[in-house]
Homo-oligomer: A and B are copies of this chain.
Amino acid sequence: MSEDRVDARVDARVDAVAETLFREQDRLVAAFEEFGGDTFRRTPWQRDGFGRGQVCVLDGGAVLERAAVNVSVVAGTRLPPSITDSAPHLLGQPFRVTGLSMVVHPANPYAPACHANFRYFSSSGSDWWFGGGVDLTPSYGFDEDATHFHRTLRDWCARHSVGDYPAWKSACDSYFTLPHRDETRGVGGVFFDRLTGSFADHWSCVADGLATVLPAYLPILRRRHAQPFTERERHWQSLRRGRYVEFNLVHDRGTRFGLQTGADIDAVLVSLPPLASWEYGLVPEPGSPEADLQRFLTPQDWLRPRGG
């Protein structure tokens, strides 16, 4: 879609949303730099007739082994099958889309990975929607982490008339699932797509969602990033990251969209962990912390009162 002229009628609100996303990118990167002590590499890019963006990546950090916060605003007329399959009336329509995606893979095996994505799509001014989500993927399960994460997301949703934590939480569980493993990718979070109606209400909710990523995730990182570990936990983390790779390459729509559009492949695959492994016939020792992870990988209400 790189060479096509874009219909000038396409929703100019895209630019306003994009400006906010670029500001949020700066804020997230600054927060992770302060937390981890390592500096991200910032790579702004621009392609005529396609769009612009900025890739911010940290590779090999001591605390955050890999982290990326990317923002782009792009235009085109040829939507990939990953969108037109479910919205055939958009075939050949000019569109613009802006999005922020974030992934953090901490070095410490006890610190969970976190992924967030927010995007605004607009076609010819008539069709528009917000989509996005935030989710958490631990290698070792901690109830208090899952509960903190979900409580923070629920409270965000509760602040907005258009927020719907139960539906979005359930959509997240459905989406971030490895059917071939019969397990979820992690403890979930929220996931929403094709949100449309009042732009003001939805944008207010989404912008607040962006601001909720750090309060949802940083307290967990703080709790876990310095927890002592051995090679055993690193190896387990690497195996769990293998599952993360399976999800992203086999199922993730964002990744498949990127592979189909010929976008910068490094930027698309920056969501992958730095190191992943696979082992045949792996069964964690019953009663071990590794075996305990399994109970976190099935959809459940993280906010129900729990017995001691």
Please, how many angstroms separate the alpha-carbon atoms of A292 and B153 in the complex? Answer: 49
Q: Is the CB of B181 within 8 A of A265?
A: yes
Q: Among residues 170 to 210 in chain A, which have CB atoms less than 8 Å away from a CB atom of chain B?
A: 179-181
Q: Contacts of A277 on B, CB cut-off 8 Å?
A: 274-276
Please, how many angstroms separate the alpha-carbon atoms of A270 and B242 in the complex? Answer: 12
Interchain residue pairs with CB less than 8 A apart (29):
A41-B280, A41-B281, A43-B281, A55-B280, A57-B280, A59-B280, A68-B280, A179-B259, A180-B259, A180-B268, A238-B275, A242-B272, A245-B245, A246-B249, A246-B269, A249-B249, A249-B250, A250-B250, A250-B259, A266-B282, A267-B280, A269-B278, A270-B278, A272-B278, A273-B278, A274-B277, A274-B279, A275-B276, A276-B276
Query: Chain B residue with minimal CB distance to A270?
Result: B280
Q: Among residues 266 to 308 in chain A, which have CB atoms less than 8 Å away from a CB atom of chain B?
A: 266-270, 272-282
Q: Contacts of A41 on B, CB cut-off 8 Å?
A: 280-281
Query: Chain B residue with minimal CB distance to A57?
Result: B280
Name the distance in Å between A6's Cβ and chain B's nearest Cβ.
24
Contact string against B for A residues 236-253, beta-carbon threshold 8 Å, 1 for contact and 0 otherwise: 001000100110011000
Q: Among residues 67 to 103 in chain A, which have CB atoms less than 8 Å away from a CB atom of chain B?
A: 68
Interface size on A, residues (CB 8 A): 35
* A→B interface (CB under 8 Å): 41, 43, 55, 57, 59, 66, 68, 179-181, 238, 242, 245-246, 249-250, 259, 262, 265-270, 272-282
Looking at A41, A265, A267, A282, the one whose CB has the most chain B CB atoms below 10 A away is: A265
Query: Chain B residue with minimal CB distance to A250?
Result: B249
Known: A41-B281, A267-B280. 11 other contacts (CB 8 A): A57-B280, A179-B259, A180-B262, A181-B265, A242-B272, A245-B249, A249-B249, A266-B280, A273-B278, A274-B279, A275-B275
The residue that A276 contacts in the complex, of B57, B68, B245, with Cβ under 8 A, is B245
Name the distance in Å between A150's Cβ and chain B's nearest Cβ.
28
Check A265/B43 contact, CB under 8 A, given A249-B246, A278-B273.
no
Q: Contacts of A262 on B, CB cut-off 8 Å?
A: 180
Name the distance in Å between A303's Cβ and chain B's nearest Cβ.
31
Q: Contacts of A266 on B, CB cut-off 8 Å?
A: 280-282
Please, how many angstroms separate the alpha-carbon atoms of A278 and B273 in the complex? Answer: 7
Please, how many angstroms separate the alpha-carbon atoms of A66 and B270 in the complex? Answer: 26
Looking at A249, A262, A270, A282, the one whose CB has the most chain B CB atoms below 10 A away is: A249
Please, how many angstroms separate the alpha-carbon atoms of A59 and B279 in the complex? Answer: 7
Query: Chain B residue with minimal CB distance to A279?
Result: B59
